[in-house]
Amino acid sequence: MAGKKIEEKKINFFPVLAKYNTDEVKIEDRGLERYINLDTENIYLGGIYSNKMFAKSKMSIVERLINNIMRTAKYTGKKIKAYKVVKTAFEIIDKKTKSNPMQVFIDALQNTAPKEETTRLRFGGISVPKAVDVAPQRRIDIAIRNICTGVVNSTHKNKKSISVCLADEIIKASKNDVTSFAVAKKNDIERIAKSAR
């Protein structure tokens, strides 16, 4: 038994998001294109990439959104519950915008991904902020994290459900609206980096 290699079964638990056509989705930012996987048919319940280095870009971008929704206390470890939130949000986006929710989400990612940020350099005993370019993988990480953080913040003391808040945040971010938490955060990061050049 110890010598035999157990084959891992991949079972797709989330086929519903596959109804949105990803063939017509356009990614205008060429730097991010390589790191955005538009596969909506292969979203898995288990962490099949959890112990593999550099596997984030192989994971579906929608699954990464679902995993980031699970950061909150209410959804920690409850992937099916987080999936239902994203599914409902995509349906709301479809009704409100009358366009492909995948395209709206990709536009939101492109608009909320910061191009530069600051790092601290130490010269002697002094820390000096210095502007640096952001790697494409990190740009997507920051964009998804800020969208989900904005959604969690907007649900506090609010009668709206998390699905409606997620749909609103994605729609605002896709239009590059400054009232979106993620767009405002990106503008702050880039403004600070510009002053530290």
What's the whole-number average pLDDT of the chain? 84
- DSSP code per residue over 93-143: HHHHHSS-HHHHHHHHHHHH--SEEEEEEEETTEEEEEEEEPPHHHHHHHH
| 128-133 contact pairs (CB < 8 A, 24+) | 129/192, 129/196, 130/196, 131/193, 131/194, 131/196, 131/197, 132/193
Instruction: Provide the residue type at 41 as one letter.
Output: E
Is 192 contained in some domain? no
Q: Which domain holds residue 92?
A: 16-112+137-177
Q: Establish how many alpha carbons lie within 13 A of residue 1's alpha carbon, considering only the half-sphere containing its beta carbon.
A: 0
Q: What are φ and ψ of residue 196, in 5° steps?
A: -100, 10
- The answer to whether residue 144 is domain-embedded is yes
Whole-angstrom distance, CA of residue 22 vs CA of residue 163: 21
Other Cβ atoms closer than 10 A to 87: 17
Q: pLDDT tier at 6 (50, 70, 90 boundaries)?
A: very low
Least confident of 37-41, 64-68, 123-127, 177-181: 37-41
In a domain, 182, yes or no: no
Task: Record the tokens describing residue 99, joined without a space.
Answer: 């366009």
Q: Is residue 128 part of a domain?
A: no
pLDDT, mean of residues 173-192: 92
Instruction: Give the phi and the psi of residue 13 in degrees, each rounded to 5.
Output: -90, -15
Q: Is residue 77 in some structural domain?
A: yes
**Total tally of structural domains belonging to the chain:** 1
Residue 160 lies in a domain: yes
Q: With respect to residue 61, please indicate whether it lies within any of the assigned structural domains.
A: yes
Residue 8 has pLDDT above 70, yes or no: no
In a domain? residue 69: yes
158 vs 165, which has greater pLDDT?
Answer: 165
Q: For position 57, which CATH number holds?
A: 1.10.455.10
- d(Cα 139, Cα 133) in Å, to the nearest integer? 10
